[in-house]
Amino acid sequence: MQGIAQFMETWNEWGAHAWYEIWMGEIAKIKQKFATIIGADPDEVAIAPNVSTALSSIASAIDYSQRNNVVLADMDFPTLAYQWLVKKRLGVECRFVESADRVYVPPELFESVVDDRTALVATSRVFFTSGYIQDIRKIADIAHKNGSYILVDDYQGTGQIPLNVDAMDIDFLVTGTLKWLMGGPGLALVYIREGLIPQLHPTITGWFGHRDQLQFKTREFEFRADAARVEMGTPAVPAVYAANGGLDIVQEISVEQICERTRYLTNDLIAQAREHGWTVRAPVEPEQRSSIVMVQIEHPEEVVKALVDRNIITDSRPGLLRISPYFYNTIEENAIVIDAIAEILASRK
Ligand SMILES: Cc1ncc(COP(=O)(O)O)c(C=O)c1O
């Protein structure tokens, strides 16, 4: 909120000149903060309006002539697979590792699908319908052993679960500021490993990806030397301001402490839900759980609406009610949510 007000003030005071004097600085700040959170260098970071746009650019930069398959998990968020499903007519094959229980995929399954024709393994760190945290380092090792790259969709992980791109040996990472970075919609953040940047030549681009952006050369195109070569057009500056505020809070508390706190709340919620006899789609091991608690119920969207009437915000996915406590929630609030759900379910009988 404060960030958006600050944006309005700069716009009012500086007009279009705010671009050079101030707004570019805000963009540099968000890259710096994100780089610190994931253990990267700011030159390895780019911004995009959303994850889908960022993925389209990266997907357009990969050479599929020698390696024509891309490996994904059938529990990944659909926008990830869409990038390569639409490339079928270019000869790209999507291979899916399948979850038997809709909670997780054993990392070893990737081994059976990845081969020397795999261009990329693209998967999430945290599954959006079970909260399961994948062992990215294991999957990265499988990808690299076969000469493939690994791309991680970390939309459901960044901010709530610690991550270091070097330790996990990640080549590409995409995430958004809407969820656990508390920055709202309109901004995605991209990491590209330094050594890969010079060989990436996306076929969709824009003037923000040009080396000499402000020279306005109409007849020539040269990519920027850093990860921002995947950027396209004018970014949504208000979203950058909002996200800078969100990332400040995350950095002040630290992702490690957020993780500790949310794990405590999540484990309590799961235990309480199970006491009521509800089926919870949750990983068995507490260290594989994130702050996404999925309760299997009929017509979850109706329960979400009834909870809004009680000032409780949850969400639904087909057949599932999603409860996502964050660090500012409490054990007492967990009990209030569980009691409210029990009452709503009882009133439907
Ligand atoms: C895992 C994951 N990836 C991506 C997205 C969103 O993608 P986009 O920024 O393109 O809307 C979501 C949205 O909830 C998500 O859960």
**In this predicted model, what pLDDT tens digit does every residue of 203-220 receive, in sequence order?**
999 999 999 999 999 999
Burial class for 247, CB neighbours closer than 10 Å (0-12, 13-18, 19+): buried
Q: How much distance in Å is there from the Cα of 188 to the middle of ligand 1?
A: 9
Instruction: Find the DSSP H helices in the chain.
Output: 2-14, 18, 24-38, 51-61, 78-85, 108-113, 136-145, 237-253, 255-275, 300-308, 331-348
pLDDT for position 36: 98
Q: How far apart are CA 152 and CA 150, in angstroms?
A: 7
Q: Specify the ligand 1 atom closest to the Cα of 188.
A: 9
Which one-letter amino acid corresponds to residue 281? Answer: R
**Would you give the end-to-end CA distance of the chain in angstroms?**
42
**Is 51 close to ligand 1, i.e. is its CB under 6 Å away?**
yes
| Whole-structure pTM value | 0.96
**Percent of the chain beyond pLDDT 90?**
97
pLDDT-based confidence at residue 241 (cuts at 50, 70, 90): very high
172 DSSP assignment: E
**Is 79 close to ligand 1, i.e. is its CB under 6 Å away?**
yes
**Percent of the chain beyond pLDDT 70?**
100
**Is 155 close to ligand 1, i.e. is its CB under 6 Å away?**
yes
Q: How much distance in Å is there from the Cα of 55 to the middle of ligand 1?
A: 11
Q: Over 90: is that where the pLDDT of 348 sits?
A: no
Residue of 50, 51, 124, 152 to mutate, ligand 1, most atoms within 8 A of C-beta: 51
Residue of 53, 56, 57, 77 to mutate, ligand 1, most atoms within 8 A of C-beta: 77
Q: Over 90: is that where the pLDDT of 349 sits?
A: no
**Is 188 close to ligand 1, i.e. is its CB under 6 Å away?**
yes
Q: How much distance in Å is there from the Cα of 178 to the middle of ligand 1?
A: 9
**Contact criterion met (CB below 8 Å) for 281 and 102:** yes
